[in-house]
Structure 1
Amino acid sequence: MPTLDVELNGEAVHDIDAPDSFVTDGPFPVVLENSGRSTHVHLHFDDDLDRAAALDDGNHFVADEATRRVHVSTADVDEPVRGKLKIVTGYGSNTAYVDVRIDPSPETPSESVAVDETFSAPPERPPEIPPGQRAVNALDRLVRSGGVAGAVFGLVAVGAAVAVAVAVDSALVWLAVGLALMIAFGAALLAVT
């Protein structure tokens, strides 16, 4: 990945030392190398280049004798795009321009991939089972798994709980019966599915 190196404050305060031109075929960083006191730098693309290159932010602070990397993203272009990058320091006291050219990225050879013809057909789905047949199948699974005895025991337990609730006539007992009914219903659903 090519890098656009810019030296700041090299010869004098707010001095900008940048190359006259820069060529790339993809995203690149602008490396702001500060040789002196902290400074603010403004980066801006002219209209032609702004259509193919973008900065996350145009204003950058570079601390004393520090380096700041500014990422420039580029669009895919079919033909070279030319324009200028404007670099400003000292709140406009010094300005430099870099001629930038963004070339189309080199074509990568496409590799052909053999695809089995069976992948082009949709997967086969099992036949749809009518709702009545589903209930018969669920009952059959319940009988084969020995769940009939459990179901009968559950019904007897629920019946006994309702009888106790009617005899005692207490809100707490009715709450317990309701909870038992919900648990029995949930267990029956699990057994059937």
Structure 2
Amino acid sequence: MRELTVYLNRDGLNTVETDERTVRASQSMALLLENHGKPTHIHFHPDDDLAALGSITEHHVFVPKGEWRRVELQFMEAAAGTGRLEITAGYGQEKTTIDVEAVPAEATESTEPSSESTVQADHETDSEQSPDGTLPLGLDTERLENPIVLGAAGAFLLVVILLAVVNPLAAIASIVAAAIMAVGVGGYLAEWDPFESDET
């Protein structure tokens, strides 16, 4: 529920102050009367436009010194429009006016992002795999995790490192062999074996 604090006697005898002069609310709003001085009588005077939108629970409130009171302005169902609420203290000695806009509850809810759409957007952003278990580039994760492929790649990498230390020329030859091996691995991942002979 929308709330608005009304400060009484804060800046002098019978003064009435609010932090906002225009309020937008749906269904209902609460006025919190906070008294900073002597006991005070408060009167609420809604204009005709505001009275047509709803009603106030109390038109006359007595607020003791150092205490506070709560008054609610309740709108009719699907109320929409603007009105003015006058608040007076000390039997009209001091007053302030608030412009009130009543809006349907659906209007305030439509301004907030849908939690369902937010969750769906997060899911699409965080998801890195398609439902069939393939990476974005189309490589099958199960084939990449095959022990034969992983073992062969690890063994070959170890051989290349050893040859590079012992004999650079042998390392160059190993790189050429790596290119041939890459063709074979690529064919495996693509479900095509370049060395498979055609059956007749």
- TM-score if structure 2 supplies the norm length? 0.51
Gap regions ≥5 residues in structure 2: 111-200
Residue equivalent to 2:58: 57
Deviates more, 1:94-103 or 1:50-59: 50-59
Q: Following superposition of structure 1 onto structure 2, how do residues 96-107 of structure 1 map, counting pairs within 5 Å?
A: 96-106=96-106
Aligned-partner Cα distance in 2 for 1:55–1:80: 16
The structural deviation recorded for 1:74 is: 1.0
Residue equivalent to 2:30: 29
Aligned-partner Cα distance in 1 for 2:81–2:5: 20
The structural deviation recorded for 1:70 is: 0.6
Question: CA offsets, 1:15-54, max 9 Å, x none?
Answer: 1112211110111211001111110000121000101121
SS of the equivalent of 1:69 reads strand
The structural deviation recorded for 1:56 is: 2.4
Q: Contact between 1:43 and 1:59, CA under 8 Å: does it hold in 2?
A: yes
Q: Contact between 2:21 and 2:98, CA under 8 Å: does it hold in 1?
A: yes
The structural deviation recorded for 1:65 is: 0.9
Aligned-partner Cα distance in 1 for 2:32–2:52: 22
Matched letter for residue 67 of structure 1: W
Residue equivalent to 2:48: 47
Aligned-partner Cα distance in 2 for 1:103–1:81: 7
Residue equivalent to 1:38: 39
The structural deviation recorded for 1:80 is: 2.9
Q: Contact between 1:27 and 1:73, CA under 8 Å: does it hold in 2?
A: yes
Question: CA offsets, 1:41-87, max 9 Å, x none?
Answer: 0012100010112112200000001110012211123x631010100
Residue equivalent to 2:8: 8
SS of the equivalent of 1:29 reads strand
Gap regions ≥5 residues in structure 1: 109-193
RMSD: 1.8
Q: Contact between 2:53 and 2:80, CA under 8 Å: does it hold in 1?
A: no
Calculate percent identity across the aligned residue pairs: 30
- TM-score if structure 1 supplies the norm length? 0.53
